[in-house]
Amino acid sequence: MTAAFTQEQEELRSTLRRFLADKAPSEAIRRSMESEQGHDPRLRQQMADQLGLHGLALPQEYGGFDGGPVELGIVLEELGRVLLPSPYFATVALAGQALAVSGDDTAKARWLPAIADGSLTGTLALAEEDGSWRVEDTATSAVAGDGGWRVSGTKMFVIDGHSADLLLVVARADTGPGLFAVDGDAPGVTRTRLETLDPTRRLARVDLDGAAALRVGPEGDAATAYLRTVTDLAVVALAAEQVGGARACLDAAVEYAKVRVQFGRPIGSFQAIKHKCADMLLKVEAARSAAYHAMSVAARSPDELPVSAALAGAYCADAFTHAAKENIQIHGGIGFTWEHDAHLYLKRAKSSEQLFGSPATHRGRLAELVGISVATATKG
């Protein structure tokens, strides 16, 4: 990315950080994740009304503020720092971005204003029953009839899919894969909340049996390219969130190393702990660079997005998991307890590591995009 964020972007970060410090301390995070809804509805509405976060990256003509992937990435990084349980990621980073880049003016006018003001929640249903996140592997079907489109199939690991008002379902029609909007409470839709590792992010299984749907975006080959862009934007958004979580782990580990005393000395003075913290810093800063570059590319050079998204998806996931593990190790025994937040970061890191494809999947895609075959990479 370029040298620095703008003054307005830095102010966005500092304002949101202060807001979250006041409204979302650890105790509030735990209350939200253990509640029936899985988040604090009042806080979600405050984020929309007081800070305008839901419309930040959406076009002004639909109630937004004409921001983009960079501004959205800043928000997600800060939300990732505190592990905020919220439908924001699913609604804005997934559904909102998918609609915003669809080129479908009717769909944008219908749903984006409600997303921008916080009155509508949405999500993207991409992964199939076999766990594949690849658009090419889409098995869910969409059939056109006199009454419109009907969608049938099963979608797995749908973020906030158990409660979202709007489901944007990737399904295969006669002309190839496409995106279809389904009402979350429509007949033929069965939603089941999944038991997951990460208590701060809820996932669902969505079964569709002839559910009524509206097509969103282009058809044919253009639809495949569009869906790949949607997926890349989701990967970049997740990478920004992962950087926030990784940085929180690094900060927590360093702070603890300063105050924890053994043998009459802070443990941060021990060479082994120094090395752990230095390695964490290197990985976190490299991940930050990858995520920021991908955010900038998404905003200014969309033709380069596939490569930068694959790079960020692979590196940021690994960096977050590494930082979360090392944070627990540096904290020692207390880091393994339920009362400490370290385990929540590790659970988010491991869960996020598999969303939209594993790091190995992203590395494989990156190799394909730059013209390196698996056989060549193996020989090298």
Alpha-carbon distance values, 60 to 72, 97, 104, 117, 350 (Å)? 15, 14, 16, 12, 36
**Which residues, 6 or more positions from 310, have their beta carbon under 8 angstroms from its beta carbon?**
235, 362, 363, 365, 366, 369
CA angle (9, 294, 255) in 5-degree steps: 65
Q: Long-range contacts made by residues 7-14, C-beta under 8 angstroms, separation at least 24? A: 9/70, 9/71, 9/74, 12/56, 12/71, 12/74, 12/75, 13/74, 13/77, 13/78
pLDDT of residue 375: 52
User: Percent of the chain having pLDDT more than 90?
Assistant: 86
HEC string for 261-295: EECCEEHHHCHHHHHHHHHHHHHHHHHHHHHHHHH
pLDDT of residue 261: 83
Res 344 pLDDT > 90: yes
- Domains along the sequence of the chain with CATH: 7-121 (1.10.540.10), 123-222 (2.40.110.10), 223-379 (1.20.140.10)
Question: Contact at 8 Å (CB) between 322 and 280?
Answer: yes
Burial of 127 (0-12, 13-18, 19+ CB in 10 A): buried
* Phi, psi values for residue 150, rounded to 5°: -130, 130
Query: Band of the pLDDT at 374, cuts 50, 70, 90?
Result: low
User: Percent of the chain having pLDDT more than 70?
Assistant: 97
Res 135 pLDDT > 70: yes
Q: What's the CA gap between 216 and 344, in Å, rounded?
A: 36
Write the DSSP symbol of residue 128.
B
DSSP string across 324-361: HHHHHHHHGGGGGSTTSTHHHHHHHHHHHTTTTS-HHH
Global pTM? Answer: 0.94
Average pLDDT of every residue of the chain: 93
pLDDT of residue 333: 84
pLDDT in tens, 249-272: 999 999 999 988 888 888 888 889
Which is more confident, 124 or 301?
Answer: 124
Res 2 pLDDT > 60: no
C-beta atoms surrounding 137 within 10 Å? 14
Write the DSSP symbol of residue 4.
-
pLDDT of residue 127: 95
